[in-house]
Structure 1
Amino acid sequence: MWHGDRNGHGEGGGRGSAQGWCALALLHGKIEAHLERELQGAHGLSVREYSLLDVLSRQNSGEGGHLRMGEVAEAVVLSQSATTRLVTRLEDRGLLSRYLCATDRRGIYTDVTRAGLELLERARPTNDAALSEALDAAEGRPELASLVAVVRAL
């Protein structure tokens, strides 16, 4: 049986969950904004572009090693149409290339070009340093400290 209070919150539930969600959203926003500034300023990459290059760089040519666009969209947390537009932008910059799947002509795969891999390797230390800086700054806020500890433990 559910025992809610007058505000519709269950025992130990609603309010704490809402505060936790707000803290998580705040932490995400602060990290993403810091990463965006650093990656854009140093490498001309958005966080989404960096994430896409990173995800695609981890593919391999073995069985099941390449991701379909739907899988890529899920990995970078974008809709499939937004992912397709992002791929097109990076392809126009010479950082990605697309090709048809050899076994399923309807499937289109995307690979990171040499230029894309080189940019990703230059951007990786910037991303890592910016992430560390953002986490350090957030750790000083009591409402975010426990979330930062969880992120670091992952």
Structure 2
Amino acid sequence: MTATDPAMTALAQSWCALSLLHGQIESRIEKALQSGHDLSAREYSLLDVLSRQHSGPGGHLQMKQVADAVVLSQSATTRLVARLEDRGLLTRYICDTDRRGIYTDVTEEGRALLTAARPTNDAALREALDEASRNPELAPLVRAVEELKVPA
């Protein structure tokens, strides 16, 4: 394939549209969460991921799993965890069965903030998708997102 190949150009254009949609959504959510809850989109995402853990076997996520879920490097995730821990939204402790393992849990204050922020996140997402659906280039992507069924 060459740089002028029509298929490659279409693929590149599709990627640009997807990137634009993502950027618009993230920007809308970031502004809403910051202004309404003093929370970044990454912080919200981290609290959300960690709130889904459980105490049973395999219930706690390793830091690499958390990093993958919030799409950050492990070091950036560790810094983010530390910031939220400093704010009293997370707590870290040593694993009982593997002293090398460190678990991270959402505190009651963190759960309350997440519960308060969830409607803001959802409304900002809906607004961003509604706005993007009026753009002919983005409308097919919006439909695809809305029809996507992700296992819980």
Which of 52, 63, 67 is the equivalent residue of 2:57?
63
Instruction: Supply the AA of the counterpart residue of 2:128.
Output: A
Trace 1:59-138 onto structure 2 (pairs within 5 A). Answer: 59-138=53-132
TM-score, length basis structure 1: 0.93
CA distance in 2, matches of 1:117, 1:24: 32
Q: Distance in 2 between matches of 1:38 and 1:151?
A: 21
Verify: 1:33 aligned to 2:30, yes or no.
no
Identity fraction in percent: 67
What CA distance in whole angstroms lies between the structure 1 residues aligned with 2:141 and 2:126? 14
Distance in 1, matches of 2:99 and 2:16, equals 44
How far is the alpha carbon of 1:138 from its aligned partner? 0.4
- What letter matches 1:133 in structure 2? E
- The runs of 5 or more residues in structure 2 that have no matched partner are none
Instruction: Give the deviation of 1:13 after TM superposition.
Output: 2.9
Q: 1:141 to 1:110 in 2, by over 3 A?
A: same
Q: How does the TM-score come out when normalised to structure 2?
A: 0.94
Q: What is the aligned partner in structure 2 of residue 42 from structure 1?
A: 36
RMSD: 1.1
Structure 1 residue 8: deviation in Å? Answer: 5.4
Compare CA radii of gyration and give the structure with the larger one.
Answer: 1
